[in-house]
Structures are given as structure tokens and as C-alpha cells.
A and B are shown apart, each in its own frame.
Chain A
Amino acid sequence: MKASTEMSRRHFLRLGANALAALATLEILGASLLFLKPRSMEGEFGGMVKAGPTDSFPPGSITEFPDGRFFLIRAKDGGFLAVYRRCTHLGCAVSWEPAANEFVCPCHGSHFDFYGDVQNPPAPRALDAFAVHIEEGDVWVDTSRPQSRDEFKSDQLVYA
């Protein structure tokens, strides 16, 4: 009876070798994934971008930051909002048309209003927003993570 509950040395060694092989595979997989992980750099698109002092943006204005890929919106009441220029439909770059007072995507004809809300489909939701911080009178925009939103709400505005 004793023999059946005990593991033979050969069995034990084989089990150990298999476990080590499994561990090695996991390590290689993990290392490969970490190796391939996307990186972003400080100060350029994909990192924190300094837009400038708050008073350089008049209320009711829209300023484009081509290198940062965003538009900095300053509402009439002074609130800041940064929207990603990528159309939420299929990723084309929208442009601000001051005459029509809207963002226009040339690819598939989506229109967005001053706050990036959809005016005309096929875009399924409002333009993505970037987090805005105001530090010592300067506006900073975190372009690492676009925040998707269904529509514009007033609590998305950031005040100095």
C-alpha cells in the first residue's frame, strides 16, 4: 500500500522538469510581452504636453496643437477642455472650421460642435478628451490616455 501513495524518483524528476519547462515558457512569454510593450516619451505626443500660460487662451477660443494632436478649447466661462483630433468614427484627423463653428472630419463627413459633441454621424460618440491640469498658471495636457466620452458634460471642463 505504501508504494502507491509515494512518488517514484523518476516520476518526481519528470514532474519537476516539466514544471521548470512551463516556468521557462511563461518567463519567455512574459519577457517578450514586456519587450513589445508600447512606450511613450515625456514632452511630446503620448506624454505630458505644456500648452502655455492660462491667460494666453481667451475665453470662447479654440487653439490647435498639431504636435500634441489636440485642440485646446476654452469655454466662454473660462473652463479648459482638450480634445483629441482623431475622429471617433475611423480615426481620421478632424479640423476646426471657424466659419461653421464646428469640427469637420473630411473622411466620412462627421461633424462635431465647439465642445466636440457629435452634430452629424457616422461618428458614434463625442471627440475623445485628454486630461488637463493647471499648475502655477500653466496648462498641461496629458496626451498618454485619450478618455472616451459619449457626450460633452460641463464637469469635463477644468478651471484655473
Chain B
Amino acid sequence: MIQTGDKPLSTYPHRRDREVERNRMKAVMNNLILHLHPAKVPAPALKFTYTWGLGGLATLLTLTLIGTGILLMFRYDASVERAYASVQYLETQVYFGSMLRSVHHWAGNLLLVVAFLHMIRVFVTGGYKQGRGINWLVGLGLLLLVVAFNFTGYLLPWDQLAYWAVTVATHLLSYIPLVGGGINNFLLAGPEVGQDALRNFYAIHVAVLPAAILAVMTYHFWRIRKDGGVSQPKRKERALKLTTIPHLVQIELVAAVTLLTTLFLWAMFVPAPLEALANPSQPPNPAKAAWYFLGLQEMLLHMHPLAALALPGIIFAGLALLPWWDAREDDIGVYFRSAIGERAALIAVALGVLLPPALVILDEFWVDFPGWLPWLPTLISNGFIPLALTLGGLTAIYVLFRRALRANHSEATLGLFLFLFVSLVTLTFIGVFFRGPNMALVWPFS
């Protein structure tokens, strides 16, 4: 501090303000929260409608899941003979058993949705740019961990839903070239879902995955601060900075209380489903995978399994490479990049809602490559050809954005991936609501 006479130069004219400021900074330094957040954050980064608090909500859901999960472990038996009975006991005899299981169930499903939305938010605001590439990858890893959590947890109630969804999904895994058989073998530890599979899933669900997700989450948070906090657009003048306590913490508290209240109320009125005891000789019709795999299962009805797995594989690889593929950095922190980007996003969403159902109906009633080209092996006619057509269609969408909208690479990429995200949601809806017995197309609720 420069001394001029005996009066210190300060940005704060009043002594009281200076003291308040100093006390706040002190509270800040001594507080655990500040090991997570910086002491001060730029005011625009606090705008709720920029981040929607999705990362924080995902964290809170994870903590809720760990808390309820630990309690559930005290009442659950991971054995084929006793698992279902222990869940029934939990539902009917244990104080708050039904509610805790319900909170755990819905929080797990909600976490999948929130993590997916968080990824989309980061994607549409270009949050993987300006050196945030590694953390984008870490985030994708966390998303996979959340999927693995949901998948392994699905089997534990050992009811018909659990048994057949996991049977179908592990069989789906075995179609992955080279490693699929091995993964399937390791998970099931036998030719079909049984005691070994249940024990494996339990160990992975309650020990391996929690350890992994806590480690990766910690790195994810540390990395956010290392990368300079929440992504923000470039500004001419420096943004006003506010202290984290109370400005950020207040928002987080309100969001947290709202989420927990909604979650617990929902869990009270909508209990977690529990069907009849698993029966390995009587599959239900239709036997569907868990809802978050139904987009993939829908693809499987239209393509050879290798093609149906290759397509999401290629898309996921594209997502992972995004920070290097779309290296333009000046549009970071702006929703949909620009006005052109906004238009591309709107078209992408419309295409994502309309195109997949049209293609599903077309393929169901008219397209039949194996029938038209009977001299080709089905791997080509029902695998390579539809895959090539789909990838060609995606390229056409990208070119459409570039040419018709005069979008730059970053805006067109935004449109392309938004189309893919919305398509995945649409396909999942078709799988959940429009597939009936024998997986035939049906009207829902009829």
C-alpha cells in the first residue's frame, strides 16, 4: 500500500466497508467452501441461467446417492436367494425403507439426466474451449461412470425388470468387437445372469464405482479452477468481481434446497418400482433394457449389432475429440456461439425431433436392404450400408449448415452434435413409449 502522509490510498472510501471486506476475505480463506470455489467470482458467471447450476446439482445428487446408498447397504443382501426378499423387507418393514430406496432410485435416474444436460450446457456454450479440453474429457468419463452406476444398480432388486434388462444389456455389450465378449464374461462370471453376476454388480456398484467417481470428481473440480473457472465470453472491460460468500453460496443453497425438496416429495409420492421376483425361464414380452439404453436398443432393431454399436462409438469419439476438432476460441461463453449458431441449433432440434421417427417408420415398413440385396452378407446389407448412409446423412447436415446458413465450422459442429443429442432423446422416447410386445411399434397407453 502506498502511503501519502498518514492516509492510505484505498479503493474503499469508508473504513467500515474496508473492514467488512477484510472480514469477508478472512471468512473466505478459512472456509472449506473456498477450497472448492475461488474467493471471488466474476458477476456474469453467477447468472443462474448461464450454468443452470447443473454441475452443482449433479454433485449434490451424487452426495445424496452416497448417503442413501450407505444406509441401503445395511439392509440389502447381495444373494440370489435373499436379494428380492431383503428389498421387500425394506419396502414393508423398515422405517423409511421404502422412501430411502425411492430417493436413491430417483436420484440415480435424475443424475443421469442432469449429467447429460450439464454436458449439453457446456457444449452449447463452448465450455470445452480455451484449454478446457482435458476437463471436457474428464466430464465425459464422469458421464460414463454415472451410466455404469445406474446399470450396475439396476440388477440389485433382483426382480423381473432387473433380471431381463441386465440380460439384454450384457448381451448387447458382447457384440462389441474384440473386448465385448471379455467384458461380458467378467461381469457375468458365467454364461448367464446369476449369483456371480449379482455379486460382481454389487461390488462394482458399492465399492469400485464410488471410489472412482469421488477421485474423478475431485480432479474435475480442481481442474475447473485451474482452467480459470466457468467459461466466460471475452469482454472489453474487466467484469466486476464478487466474493463467493455470500453471492455464489447463496445461489447454491437455494438450488440445493429446491432440488432436495422436489426429490424427496417426488420420492414420497412415486415409490421406486418393484416387479415380481426374477424368473430366468420366463422373460417378459417385450424385454427392454433400462430406459437409458433404449435409444441404443432401438438402433439395434434397424441395424446389424456391429453397426448399431459402431455409430454411437464414432459419435462418442467425435465428442471426445471436440476440443481439438472445433478449435475456434473467440466464441466461448456465448450460448449457441452466435445468431447463425442459434438458427443452426433451432434447425438441429427440429431435425432431431422429426427425422428419427420418420426413419424408424420408413425402415419398419419399407426399407429392407437384406431383402433387396440377398446376395450380400447381412453384415454388409444390414450393417455397413445403413451405417454408411447414416454417416453420409450426418455429413449432409453439416454441409447444409455450412452452405445454407453460411455457418462457420464451430457453428455447424454445434448444429451437428445438437442434432445427435436430440435424436438420442427422440429414439429413447420411441423405445420407452412406442415399442410394445415383440418390440412392434405401438401407440402408447392404448
> A38-B185, A46-B190, A91-B168 known; A107 and B196 CB under 8 Å?
no
Q: Distance (Å) between the CB of A91 and the closest chain B CB?
A: 3
Chain B residue, CB-CB nearest to A144: B191
Chain B residue, CB-CB nearest to A69: B192
B225: CB under 8 A from chain A? Answer: no
- A106 and B284 within 8 A (CB): yes
- B189 and A38 within 8 A (CB): yes
Q: Distance (Å) between the CB of B365 and the closest chain A CB?
A: 16
> A106-B285, A122-B301, A124-B304 known; A92 and B167 CB under 8 Å?
yes
- A92 and B190 within 8 A (CB): no
B286: CB under 8 A from chain A? Answer: yes
Cα(A122)–Cα(B305), bound, Å:
10
- A46 and B191 within 8 A (CB): yes
Chain A residue, CB-CB nearest to B282: A93
- Mask: chain B, 161-187; 1 = CB below 8 Å from A; 0 = not: 000100110111000000000000110
Chain A binding surface SS class:
loop
- A90 and B287 within 8 A (CB): yes
- Mask: chain B, 276-302; 1 = CB below 8 Å from A; 0 = not: 000011111111000000000100110
- A106 and B283 within 8 A (CB): yes
- B305 and A107 within 8 A (CB): no
B405: CB under 8 A from chain A? Answer: no
A98: CB under 8 A from chain B? Answer: no
Chain B residue, CB-CB nearest to A110: B438
> A38-B185, A108-B439, A124-B304 known; A91 and B286 CB under 8 Å?
no
Q: Distance (Å) between the CB of B287 and the closest chain A CB?
A: 4
Cα(A109)–Cα(B285), bound, Å:
9
Contact of B192 among A90, A91, A105, A108 (CB under 8 A): A91
- A90 and B280 within 8 A (CB): no
Cα(A124)–Cα(B190), bound, Å:
22
B378: CB under 8 A from chain A? Answer: yes
Chain A positions within 8 Å of B168 at CB level: 90-92, 107
- B438 and A108 within 8 A (CB): yes
> A92-B168, A107-B168 known; A124 and B378 CB under 8 Å?
yes
Chain B positions within 8 Å of A36 at CB level: 186, 189
Chain A residue, CB-CB nearest to B280: A93
Q: Distance (Å) between the CB of B293 and the closest chain A CB?
A: 11
Size bracket, chain B contacts: 20 to 34
- Mask: chain A, 54-89; 1 = CB below 8 Å from B; 0 = not: 000000000000100100000000000000111001
Cα(A124)–Cα(B196), bound, Å:
28
- A107 and B301 within 8 A (CB): no
- B171 and A107 within 8 A (CB): no
- B438 and A109 within 8 A (CB): yes
Contact of A146 among B170, B191, B301, B304 (CB under 8 A): B191
Chain A positions within 8 Å of B191 at CB level: 45-46, 69, 84, 86, 143, 146
A18: CB under 8 A from chain B? Answer: no
Chain A residue, CB-CB nearest to B167: A91
- A92 and B305 within 8 A (CB): no
- Mask: chain A, 131-151; 1 = CB below 8 Å from B; 0 = not: 000000000000100100000
- B 181-225 contacts with A by CB, 8 A: 185-186, 188-192, 196
> A90-B287, A92-B287 known; A109 and B281 CB under 8 Å?
no
Chain B residue, CB-CB nearest to A64: B281
Chain B positions within 8 Å of A45 at CB level: 191
Chain B residue, CB-CB nearest to A37: B189
- Mask: chain A, 84-125; 1 = CB below 8 Å from B; 0 = not: 111001111100000000000111110000000000001010
- B192 and A109 within 8 A (CB): no
Contact of B190 among A38, A89, A108 (CB under 8 A): A38
Q: Distance (Å) between the CB of B183 and the closest chain A CB?
A: 13
Cα(A38)–Cα(B167), bound, Å:
17
A-contacting residues of B (Cβ < 8 Å)? Answer: 164, 167-168, 170-172, 185-186, 188-192, 196, 280-287, 297, 300-301, 304-305, 378, 438-440
8 A/B residue pairs, CB under 8 Å, sorted by A: A69-B191, A91-B167, A92-B283, A92-B287, A107-B286, A122-B301, A124-B304, A124-B378
For the A-B complex with A45-B191, A66-B281 known, give 17 more contacts whose Cβ atoms are closer than 8 Å.
A36-B186, A38-B190, A40-B190, A46-B191, A86-B191, A90-B297, A90-B300, A91-B192, A93-B280, A93-B282, A93-B283, A106-B283, A106-B285, A107-B168, A107-B439, A108-B286, A124-B378
